[in-house]
């Protein structure tokens, strides 16, 4: 809890955000919920590459002049009419580039910081139409604090589950990890790895310096694309600017010692790659790929390179291997536990909430009602209190 004077500051430009770097880094050391996606390196790289589509709306909370919390937010335009507040680290796309997102808060200051952020959102409610915070982990204080503070400040909220993530708590040794697996999975992992090593000249090459990085990223993009092309999908690197984004990010993480990029060569041909982040005792499995152009499909290349990464994490003394979000079948077989993630939304009034959700539904069914909804939202959002009183709609999250 706060004992000193609490002040909030809106950071509305990237030049202002840059001035916060040192305090941001220091704050992370006092934040229990920190992940690689809350680091300055991640957020600043998103800002550099997608700043034209993301207007910074960062809310910094200070106690007696010392930074105690940051809500790393930005405003994007949705459907050419709605101003959506989202996590800056999510990027500008319809999906989040980051798998975990949250406020950055000094331990013990969660209630104070979340309350200050919500009050600031209420004060500046003419600047936004919806606050949409995705990829929030179930352990986050936001799950309970944000709806409670929204109710206290006359805002409406929605909380819903939003996919799953998968985390593997690592033992001390590879042998102990083998014992964690089912006999079938253990046999598959060990047997397939031996088969690949027996039938090919197998080399695992870890990127250690920047001179190797550009070539290694090209290999990663190639095998990642090859992995998804049989399903008619382009892979993540086909999205606008993501190749350049990840090249810069990988360079920064390599300099910090936070990058685990491993290439798998079979008979001197690139057959797989693993692109992971290492931060605060956890290895994050961001993406990988494999290419069957020169290898029969009976070899489970994805299993082999995943096993190699998990073994490396154990040998380096990491406490966890985070498979992040996505389909969980093979992740559970590898020993990971499933955790729900959440999406939290705030609205200025119940009618504004219904208007927003109604537009989403109409757009999903292909109906054109933009002009009507626009006129309704502009009327509602200007006078949310009177609209609520007239309709009798509750403004708490349980309505």
Percent of the chain with pLDDT over 70: 91
Question: Using H for helix, E for strand and C for coil, what is the string for 66-88?
Answer: EEEEEECEEEEEECCCEEEEEEH
Q: What's the confidence (pLDDT) of residue 279?
A: 98
Quickly state the pLDDT bin for 382 (edges 50, 70, 90).
very low
Quickly state the pLDDT bin for 351 (edges 50, 70, 90).
confident
* CA separation for the pair 214, 90 (Å, rounded): 24
Phi-psi sector, 5: left (phi>0), alpha (psi -120 to 50), beta: beta
Q: What's the confidence (pLDDT) of residue 2?
A: 66
Question: Using H for helix, E for strand and C for coil, what is the string for 354-392?
Answer: HHHHHHHHHHHCCCCCHHHHHHHHHHHHHCHHHHHHHHC
Query: Do the domains spanning 6-164+342-391 and 171-318 agree at the CATH topology level?
Result: yes
CATH code for residues 171-318: 3.40.630.30
* CA separation for the pair 368, 388 (Å, rounded): 27
pLDDT in tens, 20-64: 999 999 999 999 999 999 999 999 999 999 999 999 999 999 999
Phi/psi of residue 239, nearest 5 degrees: -70, 155
Give mean pLDDT, residues 235-240. 89
pLDDT at 391 > cutoff 70: no
Q: What's the confidence (pLDDT) of residue 366?
A: 63
Q: Which of 393, 383, 273, 346 is nearest to 83 (CA)?
A: 346
Strand-strand pairing, 320-325 and 156-169:
antiparallel
Q: DSSP for 25-45?
A: HHHHTT-TT--GGGSHHHHHH
| Bridge partner residues of 73 (DSSP) | 87
Is the Cβ–Cβ distance between 46 and 91 less than 8 Å?
A: yes
Q: What's the confidence (pLDDT) of residue 384?
A: 35
Give mean pLDDT, residues 187-216. 96
Q: What are the sequence ranges of the domains in the chain?
A: 6-164+342-391, 171-318
Tokens of 103: 């406020």
Distances (CA, A) of 143 to 46, 114, 129, 318, 337: 25, 11, 21, 28, 20
In 93-200, which residue ranges form alpha helices assigned H by DSSP?
110-123, 142-152, 174-180, 183-199
pLDDT at 69 > cutoff 70: yes
Quote the pTM value.
0.88
Is the Cβ–Cβ distance between 342 and 136 less than 8 Å?
A: yes
Quickly state the pLDDT bin for 370 (edges 50, 70, 90).
low
Q: What's the confidence (pLDDT) of residue 274?
A: 98
Is the Cβ–Cβ distance between 278 and 259 less than 8 Å?
A: yes
pLDDT at 367 > cutoff 80: no
Q: Could you give the 3-state DSSP secondary structure of residue 91?
A: coil
Q: What's the confidence (pLDDT) of residue 82?
A: 85
> What is the CATH class of 6-164+342-391?
alpha beta
Q: What's the confidence (pLDDT) of residue 358?
A: 84
Quickly state the pLDDT bin for 381 (edges 50, 70, 90).
very low
CA-based torsion, 241, 243, 245, 248: positive or negative: negative
* CA separation for the pair 112, 133 (Å, rounded): 19
pLDDT at 386 > cutoff 60: no
Q: Which of 157-171, 281-295, 378-392 has the lowest mean pLDDT?
A: 378-392
pLDDT in tens, 88-146: 999 999 889 999 999 999 999 999 999 999 999 999 999 999 999 999 999 999 999 99
pLDDT at 7 > cutoff 60: yes
Give mean pLDDT, residues 205-218. 96
Is the Cβ–Cβ distance between 34 and 28 less than 8 Å?
A: yes
pLDDT in tens, 288-314: 999 999 999 999 999 999 999 999 999
Arithmetic mean of pLDDT over the chain: 90
Q: Higher model confidence: residue 239 or residue 271?
A: 271
pLDDT at 8 > cutoff 50: yes
Give mean pLDDT, residues 327-333. 91
Strand-strand pairing, 104-105 and 202-206:
unpaired
């Amino acid at each position: 809890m706060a004992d000193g004077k609490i002040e909030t500051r809106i950071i509305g430009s990237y030049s202002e955000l840059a001035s916060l770097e040192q305090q941001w880094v220091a704050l992370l050391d006092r934040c229990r919920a920190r992940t690689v996606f809350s680091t300055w390196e991640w957020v600043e790289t998103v800002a550099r590459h997608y700043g034209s589509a993301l207007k910074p709306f960062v809310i910094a909370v200070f106690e007696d002049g010392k930074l105690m919390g940051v809500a790393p937010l930005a405003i994007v335009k949705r459907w050419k009419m709605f101003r959506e507040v989202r996590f800056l680290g999510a990027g500008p796309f319809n999906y989040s580039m980051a798998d975990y997102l949250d406020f950055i808060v000094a331990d013990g200051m969660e209630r104070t910081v979340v309350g200050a952020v919500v009050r600031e959102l209420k004060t500046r409610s003419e600047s936004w139409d919806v606050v949409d915070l995705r990829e929030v982990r179930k352990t986050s204080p936001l799950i309970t604090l944000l709806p409670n503070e929204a109710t206290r400040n006359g805002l409406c909220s929605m909380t819903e589950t939003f996919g799953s993530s998968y985390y593997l708590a690592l033992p001390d040794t590879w042998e102990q990890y083998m014992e964690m697996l089912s006999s079938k999975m253990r046999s598959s992992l060990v047997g397939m790895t031996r088969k690949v090593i027996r039938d090919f000249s197998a080399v695992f090459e870890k990127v250690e310096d920047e001179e190797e990085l550009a070539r290694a990223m090209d290999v990663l993009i190639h095998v990642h694309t090859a992995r998804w092309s049989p399903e008619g999908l382009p892979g993540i690197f086909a999205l606008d600017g993501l190749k350049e984004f990840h090249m810069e990010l990988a360079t920064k993480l390599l300099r910090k010692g936070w990058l685990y990029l491993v290439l798998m060569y079979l008979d001197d041909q690139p057959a797989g790659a693993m692109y992971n982040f290492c931060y605060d005792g956890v290895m994050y499995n961001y993406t990988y790929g494999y290419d069957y152009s020169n290898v029969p499909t009976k070899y489970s290349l994805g299993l082999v390179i995943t096993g190699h990464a998990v073994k490396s994490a154990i040998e380096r003394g990491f406490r966890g291997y985070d498979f992040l979000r996505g389909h969980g079948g093979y992740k559970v077989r590898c020993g990971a536990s499933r955790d729900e993630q959440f999406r939290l939304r705030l609205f200025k009034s119940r009618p504004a909430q219904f208007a927003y959700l109604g537009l989403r539904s109409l757009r999903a069914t292909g109906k054109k009602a933009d002009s009507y909804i626009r006129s309704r939202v502009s009327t509602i959002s200007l006078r949310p209190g009177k609209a609520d009183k007239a309709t009798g709609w509750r403004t708490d999250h349980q309505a």
